[in-house]
Amino acid sequence: MMVSKRQLVNIVDSSINDLVRTFQKDPYFFYTENDLHCYLYHEIYSKLLPEGWQCRTKDRRLSILLHKEYPTKQRYSAKGLKENVPRGARGHFDLAIWNPEKTEGRVFSAKQSASFEEEQETFVAIELDLIEGNNGLEQAVHHLKWDLLKLRSAENEIKHGYSLVFVRDWIHRDRFLKETRDEVTKEKAIVVLYVEKSKEKELVGSLSQKSFLNYKRLFYDFE
C-alpha cells in the first residue's frame, strides 16, 4: 500500500531529526555535502518497505516517490537569483518526494519544455548545505538565497520545503547569520534549520518562523 502524505511528512521530519543528531554527535562523520544527501536519502527510504515508495505514472512508468536532484518546473538565472527567465535553466532539489495522490495523473518526464507542469508534483523538497573552515561567506549567503528561491517558487508546487544548513568550525558564522537574518526570519512557509557543531558552540534551531519539531526558533540581533 502506498504511503500517505501525512506519513511522508512524519517520515521526513523524523529522518531530518536523525541526521541532525548524528551531525551533532559526530560532525566529521560526513566528508562532503553529498554525504549529507545520501545519509538523509537512506534514512527516509529505510522507514518504509520498498512497496510503500512505488508508484505508477500516467505514461505507465514504474517508479518511486523519492528522488535525488529532481528538477524544478521554474526556470532561473542561478547567478542572478532571478526566476521566470526565458533562457534560464531549470534548478534541482537535493531531495524531492512526489505527491503520492497525483502520480497516476502526471508523466514521469515531460518531452517538451512547455509541458513541465505535466511532470510530477514535488510534495516535499529538501535543500542542504555544509559550511566549514574558511569557506567563503559570499558563496554561503548566495547558496542559501538560491535554495530559498527554488523552495518559494509557486510554479514548483511545493507543499513542504526544508532548507538545512550544517556548520562546523566556520570562521564566518557570525557574519553569515547577520547577513541572512532579514532573508530568513520573515519566512513563514519553509523550515530553515540551522545546525552548528564546533569547538566553541553546539546549536540547532529554526531561523525561519516555520517551526520544526521541538527545536526552538533562533533569532539573532546584531549591531
pLDDT digits (tens, 9 = 90+) for 42-90: 999 999 999 999 999 999 999 999 999 999 999 999 999 999 998 899 9
The pLDDT score that the predictor gives to residue 221 is 55
**Tell me, what's the pLDDT at 220?**
65
Q: Within a domain: residue 222?
A: no
- Is residue 176 very low, low, confident or very high in pLDDT (cuts 50, 70, 90)? very high
Q: Is the pLDDT of residue 97 over 90?
A: yes
Q: Is residue 223 part of a domain?
A: no
Rounded mean pLDDT of 94-101? Answer: 98
The predicted-structure confidence for 130-154, as pLDDT tens digits, reads as follows 999 999 999 999 999 999 999 999 9
Q: Within 13 Å and on the Cβ side, how many CA atoms surround 135?
A: 20
In a domain, 66, yes or no: yes
Question: Which one-letter amino acid corresponds to residue 170?
Answer: W
Q: Which pLDDT belongs to residue 192?
A: 97
8 A C-beta contact, residue 176 and residue 184: no
* Global pTM exceeds 0.75: yes
Average pLDDT over residues 206-214: 93
User: How many domains is the chain built from?
Assistant: 1
Q: Is residue 214 part of a domain?
A: no
Please state, for a pLDDT cut of 70, what percent of the chain lies above it. Answer: 97
- Residue 199 confidence (pLDDT): 85
**CA 28 → CA 33, 105, 167, 202, 216, distances in Å?**
11, 43, 11, 14, 24
DSSP states of 4-61 as a string?
Answer: PHHHHHHHHHHHHHHHHHHHHH-GGG-SSHHHHHHHHHHHHHTTS-HHHHEEE-TT--
Q: Which helix (H) or strand (E) holds 200?
A: none
Whether 212 is covered by a domain: the verdict is no
153: containing domain: 5-192
Is 222's pLDDT higher than 60? no
Cell numbers for 31, please give them. 566528508
Closest alpha carbon to 16 in 120, 95, 93: 95
Region 25-36 average pLDDT: 97
Mean pLDDT on 25-30: 96
Residue % of the chain over a pLDDT of 90: 87
- Whether the CA torsion 117, 103, 12, 211 is positive or negative: it is positive
The predicted pLDDT at position 115 comes to 85
Domain assignment of residue 28, yes or no: yes
Domain assignment of residue 202, yes or no: no
Residue 162 in domain: yes
Confidence of residue 28 (pLDDT cuts 50, 70, 90): very high
Q: Dig out the grid coordinates for 112 from the structure.
A: 517538451
